[in-house]
Structure 1
Amino acid sequence: MATNKEIAKEVVSAVGGEENIQSVTHCATRLRVMVKDREKIDEEKVEDIEKVKGAFFNSGQYQIIFGTGTVNKIYEEVTGLGIAEQTTQETKEAKVADKNAFQKAIRTFGDVFVPIIPVLVATGLFMGLRGLLTQEQVLAVFGLTPESISANFLMYTQVLTDTAFAFLPALVAWSAFRVFGGSPVIGIVLGLMLVNPALPNAYEVAAGTVEPITMFGFIPVVGYQGTVLPAFIAGFVGAKLERAIRKRVPEYLDLLLTPFLTLLLMSILSLFIIGPVFHSLEEVILHATIWVLQLPFGLAGLIIGGLNQLIVVTGVHHIFNFLEVQLLSNTGVNPYNAIITNSVAAQGGATLAVAMKTKSKKLKALAFPSALSAFLGITEPAIFGVNLRYVKPFAFGLVGGAVGGMLAELLQLEGTGMSVTVIPGALLYLNSQLPWYILVNVVAIGVAFALTYFLGFTDKEAKNIDAA
């Protein structure tokens, strides 16, 4: 078995040598290489390197899939050979390359929402655990009842589950300021202004227990707890405004005037214009999303579950982060997660079928870990390393995702969080939904596995594709 250092040397050689590499970086699963001349890459040689699970060219980068954990070690060895690390500016340029306006807009959404997803994942897991700990059946095992749980303990669990969503505008505004070139700390304060306790609480206003404040006789003003779009727009406008002010303010007055004017002007714009207008738009989007998810006969699950991984391949799936955050912050549940987890599981099922049917030791060594990665919620090794390569497994994975998604919709499964799926995603369904969650995933995996095993893959077809 080759060492990571030897693999790193093979990678450098296969992409055209050090002289052809401009810089290198990595993400959770892929080594991303910026090359000077794409024609010098020996793609067959790259595919044959040990531990490589697939490779493709995208967004100005040659991306080699190694999988979680492994990619970090290979990256260290590659940079240890003297290859330059990719700068932040190069990363931005690579992302922008080869993308149209729509793709760039979706990428921007992703850049804003991806950094705040970890705390929303943690919050979702807290919700799931809280649901588990307050179930009568679970408490009975320990000789307890719901009434015996300490009120102080319940308050503590509420702190864990409510904080991120109560102050969500601060997180979104912080991230938007960071992405659009403003000062993130100004974004945090602006976001906190949107949920200041002095304003009527949005949830209480929605419940009809509190009235909005009326400004200038006609503008209703409330807090924006749990909102996403107003904070996003405020962050975008605020970052641009701060940069414009900074250019015009003398340096010796910058520290004094720039944050003062930015927060003053943005508080007025956010509370009196951006907030009311975009919160109304957000409500429309939310109700439209809920309407789609409530289509009869499981149609939403069928369509979303079937197309989700195809959308992931195109790279425009980040728009759904916004919808998931919006669902969670306004309804407390996420039926979208219950659907897409099946699309992820199904790709793993298709890859597992390839692994079990092929007689190729190398393909087995690639497919088995890729299937496991999919069952842990990461489908890139399965999709790019196996399923798309042989086409039919990917198509049957989409079918499995559609069937599982439809079943999840019919069973009305609703996750308590986002961004974790399949095995880790079970933690989002501990509130009595776990048996049904396991069932829909098993169905998605089983359909994709059976179709791929019996109809979607043979070693002979694979050899013809690889030889093409």
Structure 2
Amino acid sequence: MSENSQIAKDLIEAIGGKDNIISAAHCATRLRLMVKDQDMIDQERVENIQKVKGAFFNSGQYQVIFGTGTVNRMYDEVVKLGISGSTKSEQAQEAVKAGSGFQRAVRTFGDVFVPIIPALVATGLFMGLRGLVMQEQILGLFGLTPDDISQNFILFTEVLTDTAFVFLPALVAWSAFRVFGGNPTIGLVLGLMLVSPSLPNAYSVASGDVDPIKIFGFIPVVGYQGSVLPAFITGFVGAKLERWIRKRVPEVLDLIVTPFLTLLVMITLALFVIGPIFHSAENIILSIFKAILEWPLGISGLIIGGLNQLIVVTGVHHIFNMLEIQLLEAFGNNPYNAIVTCSVAAQGGAALAVGLKTKSAKLKALALPSSLSAFLGITEPAVFGVNLRYFKPFVFALVGGGVGGFLSAIFGLKATGMAITVIPGTLLYLNGQILLYLLVNIVAIGTAFILTWLFGFSDKSVKDLNKN
């Protein structure tokens, strides 16, 4: 039996055996298990299993942290041992009654927007690389100036950087239909209708070059290029409507009638009701969020950088995905990323201090890889496996995140994308910001490391925790 197979076997036994596990799924770092009886779980035994970096209940799921890469292999091993595999969406439906209404709503936001993020990550990297290539200093190395750049090359880069945002409503509507039980293809077509070239282009309307169409003399009708909230609501309502129609249409007519009525009713609602109302709401939310990020004296960075990982622990941080997307679509930059990356880096700094200071071989083997994971942008192993367990390192990491976030706000750092932070995040700051980006992260890491080393951890705390 391989090492991973043995770990999976030990984990299943510690959770109460196969009969206590309903299904398994996984995300980037965590194995997510639906269990029948929480009382059958031997928490201490789970946490002492090799490669396990922490375990806890969240949103009705027992989540075991293995870290990036490892979790995929552990999921495969668990399924091989007879545990039913499921998607995160299916598990979310099983756990729908878990948590408060607000937590369920935020989880739904995450289910819709998380699948879209990889495309936006790639777009952000393209923006960063274009910013690097177009810098006069870089062009000068090749004896070129910005005027020497071919228009065809610029057009090519615009295809790379603009496409995801121009067709963003199609991505959002597709994902919303998928999450809320509709046909994703119908959602995709509905989203494409929202950005039809037959409608006045949203960007042209915003610049004043084109006027919106006025229906009944007062309802403005435009395309919704780059819009998020109207597409989300349209996808939610459309999926529910499609299911309602399908239940009432004879099976022999379902293929014809259901998609026809769904698209007809929903594009009418989307253009004349949902779009105008929720686009206005979207602009208000964006204005408020942007105003908070622009608070003077670095206050926004201090607060957001200090509290971000606390929000991550509660599991409601996915709501900020929509806001980051809105920032990128509206302004072409994302100051939120620059702030929260410091909170991520600081958790790695605190875990690194624990790993270097402790004499416990097991804790060292846990803390050092967890700090590296945080420096690559994944904080769960460091937060749940090390810092929260000993509490003070987590608190001092929050302080480090606040200090780094404060400097990010003072310097006005703005990412070209989203979702990647710390070391991978350097690719979002290649447009002349890289040195300041490195500085704020080093400050965040150094603050958390020094405070944890001096005041936040000793091996006595390990002994005291083991006693309890």
TM-score range, shorter chain: over 0.9
Query: 1:192 maps to what in 2?
Result: 192
* 1:149-298 paired onto structure 2 within 5 Å: 149-298=149-298
Query: 1:437 maps to what in 2?
Result: 437
Instruction: Measure, in 1, the Cα distance between the counterparts of 2:397 and 2:335.
Output: 21
Query: 1:112 maps to what in 2?
Result: 112
Which sits farther off after the overlay, 362-371 or 23-32? 23-32
Instruction: Measure, in 2, the Cα distance between the counterparts of 1:188 and 1:423.
Output: 34
8 Å CA contact 1:306–1:343 kept in 2: the answer is yes
Corresponding residue SS for 1:96: coil
User: Structure 1, residues 316-345: CA drift from partner, whole Å, max 9, x if none?
Assistant: 111101100111111111000011000100
Question: How far 1:2 moved relative to its partner?
Answer: 7.8
Question: How far 1:441 moved relative to its partner?
Answer: 0.5
* 1:6-405 paired onto structure 2 within 5 Å: 6-86=6-86, 91-405=91-405
8 Å CA contact 2:34–2:91 kept in 1: the answer is no
Corresponding residue SS for 1:91: helix
Question: How far 1:177 moved relative to its partner?
Answer: 1.1
8 Å CA contact 1:304–1:339 kept in 2: the answer is yes
Aligned residue-pair number: 468
Distance 1:298 1:130, change over 3 A: same
One-letter amino acid of the structure 1 residue matched with residue 405 of structure 2: G
8 Å CA contact 1:2–1:50 kept in 2: the answer is no
One-letter amino acid of the structure 2 residue matched with residue 236 of structure 1: F
Which sits farther off after the overlay, 229-238 or 156-165? 229-238
Identity percentage over the alignment? 69
Corresponding residue SS for 2:23: strand
Which sits farther off after the overlay, 446-455 or 40-49? 40-49
Instruction: Measure, in 1, the Cα distance between the counterparts of 2:314 and 2:17.
Output: 29
Question: How far 1:296 moved relative to its partner?
Answer: 0.5
Instruction: Measure, in 2, the Cα distance between the counterparts of 1:104 and 1:22.
Output: 20
Question: How far 1:221 moved relative to its partner?
Answer: 1.3
One-letter amino acid of the structure 1 residue matched with residue 18 of structure 2: E
Question: How far 1:284 moved relative to its partner?
Answer: 0.7
8 Å CA contact 1:169–1:224 kept in 2: the answer is yes
One-letter amino acid of the structure 2 residue matched with residue 338 of structure 1: A
Query: 2:467 maps to what in 1?
Result: 467
After superposition, the CA RMSD in angstroms is 1.6
Question: How far 1:247 moved relative to its partner?
Answer: 1.8
One-letter amino acid of the structure 2 residue matched with residue 333 of structure 1: N
Q: Which runs of 5+ in 1 are unaligned?
A: none
Instruction: Measure, in 1, the Cα distance between the counterparts of 2:200 and 2:87.
Output: 45
1:454 aligns with 2:454: yes
User: Structure 1, residues 344-364: CA drift from partner, whole Å, max 9, x if none?
Assistant: 000000000100110111101
8 Å CA contact 2:89–2:179 kept in 1: the answer is no
One-letter amino acid of the structure 1 residue matched with residue 143 of structure 2: G
One-letter amino acid of the structure 2 residue matched with residue 210 of structure 1: V
One-letter amino acid of the structure 2 residue matched with residue 244 of structure 1: W
Distance 1:2 1:409, change over 3 A: same
User: Structure 1, residues 13-57: CA drift from partner, whole Å, max 9, x if none?
Assistant: 222233433332322212223333322222222222111111112
Instruction: Measure, in 1, the Cα distance between the counterparts of 2:87 and 2:370.
Output: 30
Instruction: Measure, in 2, the Cα distance between the counterparts of 1:18 and 1:235.
Output: 37
8 Å CA contact 2:377–2:420 kept in 1: the answer is yes
One-letter amino acid of the structure 1 residue matched with residue 382 of structure 2: A
TM-score, normalised by the number of residues in structure 2: 0.97
Q: Which runs of 5+ in 2 are unaligned?
A: none
Distance 1:430 1:43, change over 3 A: same
Instruction: Measure, in 2, the Cα distance between the counterparts of 1:375 and 1:98.
Output: 32
Instruction: Measure, in 2, the Cα distance between the counterparts of 1:155 and 1:81.
Output: 52
One-letter amino acid of the structure 1 residue matched with residue 205 of structure 2: V
Distance 1:207 1:102, change over 3 A: same
Which sits farther off after the overlay, 356-365 or 235-244? 235-244
Distance 1:88 1:208, change over 3 A: closer
One-letter amino acid of the structure 1 residue matched with residue 252 of structure 2: Y
One-letter amino acid of the structure 2 residue matched with residue 461 of structure 1: S
Question: How far 1:3 moved relative to its partner?
Answer: 1.5
Instruction: Measure, in 2, the Cα distance between the counterparts of 1:282 and 1:25.
Output: 33
TM-score, normalised by the number of residues in structure 1: 0.97
User: Structure 1, residues 276-327: CA drift from partner, whole Å, max 9, x if none?
Assistant: 1111111111111111111000111111111100000001111101100111
Instruction: Measure, in 2, the Cα distance between the counterparts of 1:388 and 1:107.
Output: 22
Corresponding residue SS for 2:214: strand
Distance 1:83 1:276, change over 3 A: closer
Which sits farther off after the overlay, 73-82 or 239-248? 73-82
Question: How far 1:183 moved relative to its partner?
Answer: 1.2
Instruction: Measure, in 1, the Cα distance between the counterparts of 2:432 and 2:300.
Output: 23
User: Structure 1, residues 233-285: CA drift from partner, whole Å, max 9, x if none?
Assistant: 11111111111222222222211121111111111111111111111111111
8 Å CA contact 1:351–1:387 kept in 2: the answer is yes
8 Å CA contact 1:52–1:66 kept in 2: the answer is yes
Instruction: Measure, in 2, the Cα distance between the counterparts of 1:185 and 1:90.
Output: 19
One-letter amino acid of the structure 1 residue matched with residue 438 of structure 2: I
User: Structure 1, residues 397-454: CA drift from partner, whole Å, max 9, x if none?
Assistant: 1010111111000100000110000000111110001111001000110111111010
Moved over 6 A (4+): none
Question: How far 1:88 moved relative to its partner?
Answer: 6.7
One-letter amino acid of the structure 2 residue matched with residue 272 of structure 1: F
Question: How far 1:85 moved relative to its partner?
Answer: 2.4
Question: How far 1:94 moved relative to its partner?
Answer: 4.4
Corresponding residue SS for 1:67: coil
Instruction: Measure, in 2, the Cα distance between the counterparts of 1:257 and 1:100.
Output: 38
Which sits farther off after the overlay, 37-46 or 110-119? 37-46
